Amino acid sequence: MKITGIQTWLVRPRWAFVEIVTDEGLSGWGEPVLEGRAATVCTCIEELKPYLLGRDPMQIEDIWTVLFRGGFYRGGGIAMSTLSGIDQALWDIKGKFFGAPVWQLLGGRCRDRMRVYSWVGGDRPSDVAQAALEKKKQGFTAVKMNGTDELQFLDSYEKIDALLERVASVREACGKGFGIAIDFHGRVHKPMAKVVAKKLEEFDPMFLEEPVLCENMEYFKEIAAACNIPIATGERLFTKYDYKRLLAAGGVDIIQPDLSHAGGLTECRKIAAMAEAHDVALAPHCPLGPVALASCLNLDAVCYNAVIQEQSIGIHYNEGRCVLDYALNQEDLAFTDGFVALPRLSGLGVTVNKALVEEEGRTPHAWKNPVWRHEDGSLAEW
């Protein structure tokens, strides 16, 4: 079997798809996207076509190694997101060839279903209590919310008080056993992060996400010492080598590799195993589409340390299109009592609505990250 064609599409709300076609009629789908730089990733795939056309798609490990090591310069968001989408598509082909879900090829499942959480509150969090209660009524057992809007290195305690009031309102509305994850989106710097983490203890959050950016990973241990809340991070790390440094630095309890950014299933399987060896949990990042979500679920199925899965149905980013629009087998992504079943179809488990992908691709999106500024005019972390 040989790879004979590779095509990409930019689709709403801010995603990209790639299809890899073979001479035996099998094709595989991936989501090669770095949000805000999706067109660049698709261009990178065009550059890599000479390494792929004519190759046997079953040789995933060798293709991955060639694309990663053969370019001399390695890592980074663009190159690794490109590699991630290609890797997903190759695993999709392999599963279809053997007539089995990818998780079967990765060693078989170690769980029957996967717990999921839902987003509430938007970019600038508001009305979180009512939104969280609605999610609870839908069967979810956990939600994630942005903690705060922009924060300076030293900022007003009024913003912290507002954060505490929001979290308190969710806890009061949903009860003690309900999971509350608080994402700081890298908006908080170390001086305020320690203050915020300590004050949030009384509400028993499920975890704090990105209390500081990963470029300051040596300070996670310091923040962890200031509170008794699990710390999660990793969506902006791209290789096992990034995670090697993170795990060595300590202080992190949950890693969140993104299977559309961190090398696909091939690399993230290794990252998850590294984390397990450090007694660190896995909760893959996934504010993306159905192929990315299915990739995560195949990984979750085989990782003992997988604890909960992000998904983007209803997330505030999804304008115009949502996850289920691009899947013809929508019933396989249904949530029941806060869980989702493992993929049942061969390959990654998603039957992509190619007609819709092609329709959307005729008017490609140009989504860009917002630019926020502080009151003094300086750039604020979004």
261 is catalytic: no
- The CA distance from 234 to 258, in Å, is 8
- The CA distance from 129 to 99, in Å, is 44
- The CA distance from 135 to 129, in Å, is 10
User: Could you please report the per-residue DSSP string of 168-187?
Assistant: HHHHHHH-TTSEEEEE-TT-
Given 278, 285, 316, 365, the catalytic residue: 285
- The CA distance from 221 to 207, in Å, is 15
Buried/exposed 35-62: b ≥16 CB within 10 Å, e otherwise: bebbbebbebbeebeeebeebebeebee
Scanning the chain, the segments in alpha helix (DSSP H) are: 38-52, 60-69, 77-98, 102-105, 128-137, 157-174, 190-200, 220-225, 240-249, 264-277, 290-302, 354-361
Token pair 């896995």 is found at 282
Three-state SS for 112? coil
- The CA distance from 134 to 231, in Å, is 26
In this structure, what are the phi and psi dihedrals at residue 117, rounded to the nearest 5 degrees?
-125, 165
Given 185, 189, 261, 365, the catalytic residue: 185
Buried/exposed 118-135: b ≥16 CB within 10 Å, e otherwise: bbbbeeebeebbebbbeb
316 is catalytic: no
Contact 342, 109 (CB under 8 A): yes
- The CA distance from 238 to 257, in Å, is 8
| Dihedral Cα 243, 295, 4, 359, nearest 10 deg | -120
Sign of CA dihedral 299, 301, 302, 307: positive
**Catalytic residues, which ones?**
185, 285
